[in-house]
Chains A and B, each alone.
Chain A
Amino acid sequence: MNPAPPGTREPAPATLAHWWGRLRDIQVSGTATVAMLVVVIAVNVALQPNFFDQYALTSNFATFVPLVAIAVGQTIVVLSGGIDLSLGAQVTLASVVTVQLTDGELGNLPLALTAGLGVGVACGLFNGLVVVVARLQPIVATFATSFVFSGLALVVLPRPGGTMPSEFTSGYRDSVLGVPVALLAILAIAAGWLLLRRHRVTRHIYAVGGNAEAAFASLVPVARTRITAYVIAGMFASVSAFAILANTGAGDPFIGNELTLTSVAAVVIGGTALRGGRGGAIGSILGAIILALVSNIVFFADVPSTYRQLANGLVVILALALAGIPALQKRRSA
Chain B
Amino acid sequence: MALLEMNGVRKRFGGVLALDDASLSAAGGEVHALLGPNGSGKSTLNKTLTGVVVPDRASITIDGSPVAIHGPRDAHAHGVAAVYQQLSVVDDLTVTQNVVLGLEPTRRLGLLDRRAARTVAAEVLTRFSPAFAGSVPYDAAVGALSPGEQQIVEICKALARRPRILVLDEATASLHKEQVHVLFEVVRELRDSGVLVVFTSHRMDEVFALCDQATVLRNGRTVGTIALADATEDQLVHMMVGDVERREEARRSHASDRTVLQVRGLTTQRLRDVSFSVAQGEVLGLGGLQGQGQSDLLLAMFGAAKIHAGEVLYDGVPLPLTSPVKAARAGVALVPGDRGRQGMFAVRPIQENLSIASMHRRATARLALSQRAERRAARGIVERLNIVIGGLADRISTLSGGNQQKVVIGKWLLNEPRVVLLDDPTKGIDITAKEEVYAIIRELADSGAAVVFNSSDNRELLEMSDRVLVLFEGGVVDELTDAQVTEEDLVASALRLEAGETL
Contacts and interface: CB of A to CB of B under 8 A. Distances in A.
Interface of A: 2-8, 10-11, 195, 198-201, 203-204, 206-207, 210-211, 213-221, 277-278
B433 interface: no
B345 A10 contact: yes
Interface string B366-394: 00000000000000000000000000000
Contacts of A4: 304, 341-342
Contacts of B342: 4-5, 8
A6 B328 contact: yes
Interface in B63-77: 71-73, 76
Interface string B261-300: 0000000000000000000000000000000000110010
Contacts of A7: 356-357
Interface string B51-85: 01000000000000000000111001000001010
B90 A219 contact: no
B466 to A, nearest CB: 25
A42 B120 CA distance: 49
25 contacts: A3-B304, A5-B304, A5-B328, A5-B334, A5-B336, A6-B328, A10-B345, A11-B345, A199-B109, A200-B110, A201-B110, A206-B92, A207-B93, A210-B93, A211-B89, A213-B88, A214-B87, A216-B71, A218-B72, A218-B98, A218-B101, A218-B102, A218-B157, A220-B102, A278-B92
Contacts of B89: 211, 214
Contacts of B84: 217
B223 interface: no
Contacts of A195: 111
Given A217-B52, A217-B72, A207 B110 contact: no
Contacts of A213: 88
Interface string B88-120: 111111000110011110100111100000000
Interchain residue pairs A-B with the least CB separation, the first 10: A219-B102, A217-B88, A214-B88, A218-B102, A218-B101, A210-B92, A210-B90, A6-B324, A211-B90, A6-B325
Interface residues of B, number: 47
Q: Which of B87, B92, B98, B325 has the most CB of A within 10 A?
A: B92
A214 B356 contact: no
B305 A3 contact: yes
B426 interface: no
A82 B103 CA distance: 23
Contacts of B343: 5, 8
Nearest to A1: B146
Given A200-B111, A217-B84, A2 B101 contact: no
B106 A200 contact: yes
Contact of B101 (A199, A220, A278): A220
B172 interface: no
Contacts of A278: 92
B92 A200 contact: no
A2 B299 contact: yes
Contacts of B295: 2
B52 A216 contact: yes
Contacts of B52: 216-217
A218 B302 CA distance: 41
A218 B87 CA distance: 10
A7 B353 CA distance: 10
Contacts of A210: 90-93
Contacts of A218: 72, 88, 90, 98, 101-102, 157
B286 to A, nearest CB: 16
B323 interface: yes
A219 B111 contact: no
B111 A198 contact: yes
B103 A203 contact: no
A203 B104 contact: yes
B306 to A, nearest CB: 9
Contacts of A219: 72-73, 76, 101-103
Given A8-B343, A10-B348, A277-B90, 5 more contacts: A2-B304, A5-B302, A8-B345, A215-B101, A215-B102
A200 B90 contact: no
Interface in B293-322: 295-296, 299, 302, 304-305
B336 A215 contact: no
A80 to B, nearest CB: 13
Contacts of B347: 10
A2 B88 contact: no
Given A4-B342, A10-B345, A220-B101, A199 B111 contact: yes
B50 interface: yes
Contact of B112 (A3, A199, A215): A199
Nearest to A195: B111
A217 B484 CA distance: 48
A203 B305 contact: no
A8 B56 CA distance: 41
Q: Which of A2, A200, A213 has the most CB of B within 10 A?
A: A2
Contacts of B71: 216
B378 to A, nearest CB: 15
A197 B345 CA distance: 38
B141 to A, nearest CB: 9
A63 B325 CA distance: 59
B142 to A, nearest CB: 10
B345 A215 contact: no
Nearest to B325: A6
Contacts of B302: 5
B111 A216 contact: no
A41 to B, nearest CB: 31
B72 A200 contact: no
Nearest to B104: A200
Contacts of B92: 206, 210, 277-278
Given A8-B342, A220-B102, A2 B90 contact: no
Contacts of A2: 295-296, 299, 304-305
A206 B341 CA distance: 26
B91 A211 contact: yes
B323 A6 contact: yes
A48 to B, nearest CB: 40
